Amino acid sequence: MNTSRQDKKALWGGRFAAAPDQLVREFTKSVHYDWRLYREDIFGSLAHARMLREIGVISSGEFAAIERGLKQIFAEIEAGVFAWDAAREDVHMNIEAALTARTPAGAKLHTGRSRNDQVATDMRLWVKHSIATDRALITGLQTALVRLARKYQRVIIPGYTHLQRAQPVWFAHHLLAYVEMLARDGARLADARRRADTLPLGAGALAGSTIPLRRERVARLLGFGAVAQNSLDAVSDRDFILEYAAAGAILAVHLSRLAEDLVLWSTAEFGFIRIGDAFTTGSSLMPQKKNPDVAELVRGKSGRVIGNLVALLTLVKGLPMTYNRDLQEDKERLFDTVDTVQQSLAVFTALLAEVRVNAAVCARAVADPLLLATDVADWLVNRGVPFRRAHEVVGQAVAISERRRVPLDRLPLTVWKKLHPVCAAGLRKIFNVRAALSRRKMTGAPGQQQVEAQLRRWEQVLK
C-alpha cells in the first residue's frame, strides 16, 4: 500500500508541520508484530461501530459500509493478501486507513475512542482467547500423562529426594503429580482470565468522552463481563498481562521439571524410559547418540518465559499515570510467552505418546531393600518404639549392612535383636515392595487402591 503525502500528514495530525524523522518511524513502528491483534481490533471496531449507530453518531448506511469494509479487510488478512504499511505504524492505523479508503464512513469509526483504550481492549480480548487455547492444551497434556500412567500402572520406580533413591512409588503416581500441577496451572489461567474480562473501551485517551457512549452495550457485544470503572486505570492497567505472564512462567517451570525427569529417565544411567525416535535427535559427530532434545528445549525455553515476566514487571514498575509509549513493549513479551507455552504443551503431549517404559529396569531399581528402610522404622513404631529411636535403630542396621556388604533384608535377625529387642521374624516381611505400597492407604498416598482411584478420577474429569 502506497502512502500519499496527504495521507502521511494525516498520520501525525494537524499539530505538526513536519513528518517524523525516518529513524523515528523505524524506531516507533509496531505493526511488524502487533498485526497479530487484527482479529481483536476488527471485532472491537465492529462492536464500537454498532454502538455508534445505536446512539445516532453514524447512520445505518454508514454502519453497513463500515461493517462490510471491516469484514473485507478481515478476509484479506486471513488470506494473507492484505498490504501492511509500516508508515502507518501499528495495526490500528493500518486497518482504519484501509477502511477509510473503502468508505468515507471509516473516518467516523474512531469517534469517542483513542488508541489507548483501543489497544487495551484488543489486548484483553487477545489474552482471553489465548487462555482458552492454553487451557485446552493443558487438558491435552494431562490426558497424555494419564494415558501413559494407565498404560504402565503396574510399574514401580524409586521415588527420589535430593536426587537420591528414597522410597518406592508407582510410576503412575509420579506422572499424576504433574497432572495435579497442570490442574493448578489451568486454575491460575482461569483466574487470570476473570481479571482480563473487563472492557476498557470508552475510557478514551484517559478521561472518557463527552459523546454519550454506551459502554455496557459494547461490553455485551464483545463478551466482556464488566466495564472498567476508572478511565485512568482502564488505559494504563497491564496487570492482566503481568498475571498471564506469571501464570505462564509457573506453567513453564512445571514443564521444565517434567522435562528434567524425562531427560534423566532416558539416560543409560537410569534407563527407565525410551523416547520415540521422532522426538529425539542424533549427534553430528557420535553416531550412537540419541538425544532428548525436545525435552531439553522445553526445559530451556522456560527461561525465556520467566525472562518475559521479569521484563514486563520491569517495564511497568516506574510508569506514571496513565498511558505511556513504554507500554508498546508489552506485546512482544506477551506474544512470546503465549507462543512458547503453547508450543511446549503441544510438543510434550505428542512426545508422551511415544514414550515406552522399561519395566524390567524399573523393577531392578526398586529391588534395593534400602528403599524400605522407612517402612522398617514404621514397623517398629507400630510396636511401641518412639520414632526417633526407631530411626536410630534402622540407621544403625543400614550402617552394619553396608559395612558387612550384606543387603538390609538379609541382615541376620540376631543383629536386629541386638539393636532393639522388639525386632522379630515378622520384620522380614516388610521387604516386599508391592506389599509396602499396598500399606499406603491414606488419601494422596501411592497405594495401589489410591492410585487406581486417582486414575479413574482424572479419566472422568478429563472427559
The amino acid at 257: R
Cβ contacts of 458 within 8 Å, gap of 6 or more = 142, 146, 176, 179
Distances in Å between the alpha carbon of 124 and those of 94, 208, 330, 334?
20, 18, 12, 11
* Beta carbons within 8 Å of 462's beta carbon, 6+ residues apart: 139, 142, 143, 146
Which residues form the domain of 70?
A: 5-111
Residues whose CB falls within 8 Å of the CB of residue 134, separated by 6 or more in sequence, listed in order: 186, 189, 248, 251, 338, 341, 342, 345
Q: What is the mean pLDDT of residues 39-56?
A: 98
How large is the average pLDDT for residues 447-457?
Answer: 94
Read off the pLDDT of each residue in 452-460 and give the average, rounded to a whole number: 97
Which tens digit of pLDDT belongs to each residue from 153-180? 999 999 999 999 999 999 999 999 999 9
- Catalytic positions: 162, 283
Task: Name the amino acid, one letter, at 297.
Answer: L
The pLDDT assigned to 289 comes to 86
Mind listing the pLDDT tens digit for each residue in 259-294?
A: 999 999 999 999 999 999 999 998 888 888 899 999
On the question of pLDDT at 17 being above 50, the answer is yes
pLDDT exceeds 60 at position 6: no
Joined together, the cell numbers standing for residue 432 give 516386599
Q: Are residues 281 and 396 in the same domain?
A: no
pLDDT tens readout for residues 290-336: 999 999 999 999 999 999 999 999 999 999 999 999 999 999 999 99
Q: Which of the listed residues 332, 364, 396 is the one where a domain comes to its end?
A: 364
Per the CB < 8 A criterion, the answer to whether 352 and 266 are in contact is no
H or E stretch at 144: helix 115-151
Amino acid at 347: V
Confidence of residue 11 (pLDDT cuts 50, 70, 90): low
The yes-or-no verdict on residue 248 having pLDDT over 60 is: yes
Same domain? 310 vs 401: no
pLDDT at res. 1: 40
Supply the CATH number for residue 70's domain. 1.10.275.10
Identify the DSSP state of 111: T
What whole-number distance in Å separates Cα of residue 45 and Cα of residue 31?
17
Out of 345, 364, 383, a domain closes at 364
Residue 225 belongs to a domain with what CATH number? 1.20.200.10
Q: List CB contacts of 147: < 8 A, sequence separation 6 or more.
A: 352, 353
Report the distance separating Cα 324 and Cα 236, nearest Å: 8
Q: Do both 90 and 124 map to the same domain?
A: no
Rg (CA), the chain: 31
Tell me the average pLDDT of the chain. Answer: 95
Other Cβ atoms less than 10 A from the Cβ of 67: the count is: 17
**CATH code of 451's domain:** 1.10.40.30
pLDDT (tens digit, 9 = 90+) per residue, 209-234?
Answer: 999 999 999 999 999 999 999 999 99
Q: Is the pTM of this model over 0.85?
A: yes
pLDDT on residue 116: 98
Last residue of a domain, which of 311, 339, 364?
Answer: 364
Supply the pLDDT for residue 14: 66
Locate 221 and state its grid cell. 457485544
Looking at residues 380-403, what average pLDDT do you find?
96
d(CA 172, CA 90): 50
Query: pLDDT of 105-144, one tens digit each?
Result: 999 999 999 999 999 999 999 999 999 999 999 999 999 9
pLDDT at residue 5, rounded to an integer: 47
